[in-house]
Structure 1
């Protein structure tokens, strides 16, 4: 299979995927190295396809399928990360990313793509196991999330509870 054909096939595979697709899965499927897949993804992005890499795998961002999307500003300490994330997904939300405003580098965004308690647990475990510090440590706990919900009512409920817990900055 030629590169162009493979990239078109990868794009179609990602369009049909109901969950993130690992690079290793794609490399086995197309019988190429992981590095070839990384290059293919880079070329697809250069063509304008919104493909993001998450810890769970690659996701093709298409329209948000009718979800309500909101950018929220929050603040909490490192010990409250899990509570914040569990609150959002526990109320039916999805956490797309986290962004901070760094004094030197400007906006720094990390893709999260958390949509379940299991996803939150895996993220928290990776954070603990790696001894990495969250981005919000660079900004005294202040950060921004892009979140999604199925309806305005769900979004309002998420925002209400975040406000009650003192996480939401208005």
Structure 2
């Protein structure tokens, strides 16, 4: 299979998948190395395909489900306990946190996939931060960050926004 065909098939697979697909799985499907897949993903991103990389694998936000509502919030918190509470609030109210984005003064926009939709996934994510002694990416911008959130509809998103406002996490 030639390179252009493989990249096209990777794009289609990710757009049709309801779940993230690991680089190892893609490498197995296309009988290439994982490093070749990393390069293919970089080129697809450069072409404007919105591919998010998470510890669970690669995915295209909203792919595989036309009934998804997606929007972005601007938020701030000062410690890892507030980060955990913010994520719990989102998932407990029916949201899926796709990513975190910060606007760095030198590097510009930095985006990292989170892809959490349950308490267990939030606990695993925060646990990894604590285990590794890593700081959240929002520490680069004094806690200010954005999240892309997926919900089943705009009403669910609005309810999440309302609760986050009540808790003082949202920046308007």
Which bracket does the TM-score occupy, shorter chain normalised?
0.7 to 0.9
* Partner residue in 2 for 1:70: 71
Aligned-pair Cα RMSD in Å: 2.1
Aligned residues of 1:50 and 1:62 also touching (Cα < 8 A): no
Alignment match of 1:86 (pick from 81, 85, 88): 88
Aligned residue in 2 for 1:150:
152
User: 5+ residue gaps in structure 2?
Assistant: none
> Equivalent residue for 1:123?
125
Counterpart CA distance in 1 for 2:155 and 2:133 is 37
Work out the number of aligned pairs and report it: 170
TM-score of the superposed pair, with normalisation by structure 2: 0.85
Q: Displacement of 1:91 after TM fit?
A: 0.4
Distance 1:44 1:143, change over 3 A: closer
Instruction: Quote the Cα distance in structure 1 between the aligned partners of 2:154 and 2:45.
Output: 31
**Cα distance change on mapping 1:142 and 1:34 into 2, 3 Å:** same
Runs of 4+ deviating beyond 6 Å: none
Match of 1:132 in 2: 134
Matches for 1:1-170 after TM superposition, within 5 Å: 1-61=1-61, 65-78=66-79, 79-170=81-172
Q: TM-score, normalised by structure 1?
A: 0.86
Any stretches of 5+ residues in structure 1 without a counterpart?
A: none
Q: Is the Cα–Cα contact under 8 Å of residues 61 and 98 in structure 2 kept in the other structure? A: no
